[in-house]
């Protein structure tokens, strides 16, 4: 089955839905059919890049024109007195939050940490979403430093917080930032051992190791990072590339599932990580179209509550269950376009 292209797949926490972020909007899958949300329903931009259901059950969508909060109870629930930075429309399902900086109005990633702080990575900087007394949010800019490149701001692709309380921020061309719990901000770039300055995926595994997936197909790869070093030394303990068996050097996403398996999404297929032994050998068991996965451009990974693995790619959304693969596309009611992210709710 030819699938719609899926950028991101997300799992909600309260209602038992899987969410697909695509280049045409957002699709909600209830296990039987799809409900689509587009600009016709008030989404501020057709490009949906990330989806987050917060610990309080608030639905947030990162788009190319701000952060949209979805009202799951239907149309017509609008804010009577919108604050600066908030856009509302009559009969809209969405409230939209925009920063003052017009260069930062594309949001790429949303993340809630263990302390229930909500972070947002934009096309020009890092923001926190602070909840106000009336249940709304305000965007707070978090300075990281000046851009290293003239053509862009600090374009953020990924955010995680590790068990030591450090926030790691991966950027498109400005390297890797670490915000320590004491407020110290460090930047790591190629002089610190990174193969390039484009960090697009981050993961802390169950052993506390930090992994960074790089973007460039020629100079990228998967980095195992040192967690104790400072910005004066090398941050990379080991770099893995195609020479070690990766399907490609561009690594859009990383996931460790509940059974301990480590999955690596690449633009050359899906990799099930094999710890390199003393005798060497490939670090990947690779899944491609022959196994029911897309041959190229696997962008996002998700494990749902039943232990199924989902992939979002140019081939659409694919569910990898114990018995094999299930594909969903526009013929099933899903929205046409790349599935950028996948999200499962609390149920």
Q: Are 249 and 239 a contacting pair, CB within 8 Å?
A: no
Q: Are 176 and 194 a contacting pair, CB within 8 Å?
A: yes
pLDDT (0 to 100) of residue 81: 36
Contacts of 303 (CB under 8 A, 6+ apart): 255, 257, 258, 309, 310
pLDDT (0 to 100) of residue 75: 52
| 259-284: pLDDT as tens digits | 999 999 999 999 999 988 655 689 99
Q: Which of 212, 215, 302, 316 is nearest to 267 (CA)?
A: 215
Q: Which of 26, 43, 131 is nearest to 89 (CA)?
A: 43
Beta bridge partners of 158: 170
Q: What is the C-alpha separation between 303 and 275, in angstroms, rounded?
A: 21
pLDDT higher at 60 or 10: 60
Q: Is the pLDDT of residue 299 over 50?
A: yes
Q: Model pTM?
A: 0.86
pLDDT (0 to 100) of residue 76: 42
pLDDT (0 to 100) of residue 278: 55
Q: Which of 1, 3, 19, 2 is nearest to 11 (CA)?
A: 19
Both tokens assigned to 163: 């068990």
**Residues of the chain above pLDDT 90, percent:** 63
pLDDT (0 to 100) of residue 225: 97
Q: Are 298 and 311 a contacting pair, CB within 8 Å?
A: yes
Tallying the residues shown for the chain, one arrives at: 347
Q: Is the pLDDT of residue 342 over 50?
A: yes
Q: How far apart are the first and last CA of the chain?
A: 29
Q: How confident is the model at residue 251 (pLDDT cuts 50, 70, 90)?
A: very high
pLDDT (0 to 100) of residue 289: 85
Q: Which of 162, 156, 92 is nearest to 122 (CA)?
A: 156
Q: What is the C-alpha separation between 101 and 83, in angstroms, rounded?
A: 16
| 26-76: pLDDT as tens digits | 998 888 888 899 999 899 999 999 999 999 999 999 999 999 999 876 554
Radius of gyration for the alpha carbons in the chain, expressed in angstroms and rounded: 19
pLDDT (0 to 100) of residue 333: 61
Both tokens assigned to 35: 């409900």
Helices (H), the chain: none
pLDDT (0 to 100) of residue 3: 36
Q: Mean per-residue pLDDT for 304-322?
A: 86
Q: Which of 3, 111, 86, 17 is nearest to 330 (CA)?
A: 3
Beta bridge partners of 201: 213
Q: Mean per-residue pLDDT for 283-310?
A: 89
Q: Mean per-residue pLDDT for 230-236?
A: 91
């Amino acid at each position: 089955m030819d699938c719609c292209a899926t950028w991101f797949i997300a799992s909600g926490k309260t209602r038992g839905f899987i969410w697909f972020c695509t280049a045409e909007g957002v699709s909600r899958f209830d296990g039987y059919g799809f409900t689509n949300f587009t600009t016709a329903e008030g989404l501020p931009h057709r490009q949906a890049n990330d989806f987050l259901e917060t610990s309080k059950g608030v639905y947030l969508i990162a788009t190319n024109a701000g952060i949209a909060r979805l009202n799951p109870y239907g149309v017509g629930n609008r804010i009577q007195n919108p604050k600066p930075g908030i856009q509302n429309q009559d009969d809209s399902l969405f409230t939209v939050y925009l920063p003052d900086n017009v260069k930062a109005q594309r949001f790429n990633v949303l993340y809630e940490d263990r302390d229930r702080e909500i972070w947002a990575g934009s096309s020009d900087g890092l923001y926190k979403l602070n909840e106000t007394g009336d249940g709304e949010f305000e965007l707070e800019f978090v300075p990281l430093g000046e851009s290293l490149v003239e053509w862009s701001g600090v374009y953020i692709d990924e955010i995680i917080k590790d068990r030591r309380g450090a926030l790691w921020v991966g950027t498109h061309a400005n390297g890797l930032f670490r915000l320590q719990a004491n407020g110290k901000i460090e930047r790591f770039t190629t002089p610190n051992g990174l193969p390039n300055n484009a960090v697009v995926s981050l993961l802390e595994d169950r052993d506390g190791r930090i992994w960074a997936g790089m973007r460039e197909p020629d100079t990228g790869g998967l980095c195992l990072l040192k967690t104790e070093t400072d910005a004066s030394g090398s941050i990379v303990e080991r770099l893995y590339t195609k020479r070690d068996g990766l399907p490609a050097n561009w690594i859009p996403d990383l996931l460790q599932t509940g059974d301990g398996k480590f999955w690596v999404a690449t633009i050359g297929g899906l990799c099930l990580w094999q710890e390199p032994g003393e005798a060497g050998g490939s670090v990947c068991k690779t899944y491609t179209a022959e196994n029911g996965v897309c041959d190229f451009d696997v962008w996002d990974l998700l494990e749902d509550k039943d232990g199924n693995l989902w992939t979002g790619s140019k081939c659409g959304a694919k569910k990898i269950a114990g018995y094999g693969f299930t594909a969903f596309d526009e013929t099933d009611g899903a929205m046409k376009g790349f599935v950028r992210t996948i999200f499962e709710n609390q149920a």
